[in-house]
Amino acid sequence: MSTDDQMNIDERYKYLRRMQKRYMRADRQEQGRLLNEMEHVTELHRKSLVRLLHSDLTRQLRRQPRGVVYGAEVQEALRVLAESTDYISAERLTPNLGWLAQQLDRHGELMVSPELVAQLDAISISTVGRVLARQRQDQPRLPRAGPQQAHQLRDIPMLRLPWDEQEPGHFEVDLVHHGGSSAAGEYVHTLQLIDVATGWSERVAVLGRGQLVMADAFRRVLARLPFPVRQIHPDNGSEFLNQHLRHFWRDLVQGVRLSRSRPYHKNDNPHVEQKNYTLVRAYLGDERLDTVAQTIALNQLYDQMWLP
């Protein structure tokens, strides 16, 4: 049986509790057959199975606490490795601990020894998860905002732009990710705006999605639009709904109404969702783009698409 197919203790006890009723009602010959089956499924010794089946199948508490297997050196290495991978999950981090520690050692970020690498290769996913959870508890947390600050964007209404809008300037907005098969690190996004009334489309490639690059992208769009922006209607992404861009649209670019779609309702932005494929994905596919040169080249392509 492969490692992935092995039962954990809880699964084993659940299985034995179901088999216990059949075992107790069976005759001697049937009990032997059931023991053969349970021995194959659980990989337990036959005598251990007999002993468990004649008990109440409740797990006993450990009488003597388990000693510390992974000391401070391993725990400190896990802290550095988790931070260097932007705190990915233990399931993704654990299989890569050994070689990643050696890479960080080459760059002077972590001192490793053969014994430490061996321990990192042997540590289990559950142990890594417990260590990282304990480390997160020990880290000081930034003060949380109060209820009024936490919900200060709720005054942006959730709605759907009318499909028969006659006035130009009401834009559905979305961000197309070009991260490929991985969302790690910083990569290129395409900011796309579609006017509901005219179908006018605008696209700008940005590296990352911080408030500075997003504001610069919107400025680039505003500089070449043939009509004023009257409404901006994005989804609920934090790249759109934050205080910086709220200040941008309400104070720096005055007269623009902000609205947003309902969470998990792509049909609230049907025009831009459709154009995300025909005007972006159809040209670029799902490849990862994550360099400044690729961002510049992509904007040059979008400039050519913009020309009448």
Q: Read off the tokens for 163.
A: 């499909």
Task: Give the residues across from 194 on adjacent strands.
Answer: 172, 201
For the chain, the domain total comes to 3
Q: Are residues 26 and 117 in the same domain?
A: no
Q: Are residues 200 and 250 in the same domain?
A: yes
The answer as to whether 156 is a domain residue is: no
Q: Read off the tokens for 230.
A: 């009257």
Q: Are residues 123 and 197 in the same domain?
A: no
The answer as to whether 160 is a domain residue is: no
What pLDDT, in 10s, does the model give residues 252-289?
Answer: 788 889 999 988 888 889 999 999 999 999 999 999 99
Lowest mean pLDDT among 137-146, 168-177, 188-197: 137-146
Given pLDDT bands bounded at 50, 70 and 90, which one contains residue 139? low
Q: Are residues 182 and 285 in the same domain?
A: yes
Last residue of a domain, one of 88, 117, 135: 135
Alpha-carbon gap, residue 158 to 208, rounded angstroms: 26
Q: Are residues 207 and 298 in the same domain?
A: yes
The answer as to whether 97 is a domain residue is: yes
The answer as to whether 287 is a domain residue is: yes
Q: Are residues 109 and 195 in the same domain?
A: no
* Of residues 220, 169, 202, the one with CA closest to residue 306: 202
* CATH at 209: 3.30.420.10
pLDDT of residue 194: 94
The answer as to whether 163 is a domain residue is: no
Return the residue matching tokens 């049986």. Answer: 1
> Is the pLDDT assigned to residue 146 strictly greater than 60?
no
Computed from CA positions of residues 247, 249, 255, 259, in that sequence, does the dihedral angle turn out positive or negative?
negative
Q: Are residues 256 and 215 in the same domain?
A: yes
282, 179 contact by CB (below 8 A)? no
> Is the pLDDT assigned to residue 149 strictly greater than 50?
no
The answer as to whether 59 is a domain residue is: no
What pLDDT, in 10s, does the model give residues 289-307?
Answer: 999 999 999 999 999 987 7
The answer as to whether 64 is a domain residue is: no
Q: In Å, what is the CA distance from 72 to each residue of 95, 140, 178, 259?
A: 20, 20, 39, 51
Q: What is the SS3 assignment for the chain?
A: CCHHHCCCHHHHHHHHHHHHHHHHHCCHHHHHHHHHHHHHHHCCCHHHHHHHHCCCCCCCCCCCCCCCCCCHHHHHHHHHHHHHCCCCCHHHHHHHHHHHHHHHHHCCCCCCCHHHHHHHHHCCHHHHHHHHHHHHHHCCCCCCCCHHHHCCCCCCCECCCCCCCCCCCEEEEEEEEEECCCCCCCCEEEEEEEECCCCCEEEEEEECCCHHHHHHHHHHHHHHCCCCCCEEECCCCCCCCCHHHHHHHHHHCCCCEECECCCCCHHHCHHHHHHHHHHHHHHHCCCECCCHHHHHHHHHHHHHHHCC
Q: Are residues 200 and 130 in the same domain?
A: no
Host domain of residue 40: 3-53
Q: Are residues 288 and 175 in the same domain?
A: yes
The answer as to whether 65 is a domain residue is: no
Q: Are residues 234 and 285 in the same domain?
A: yes
Q: Are residues 83 and 29 in the same domain?
A: no
Q: Are residues 79 and 16 in the same domain?
A: no
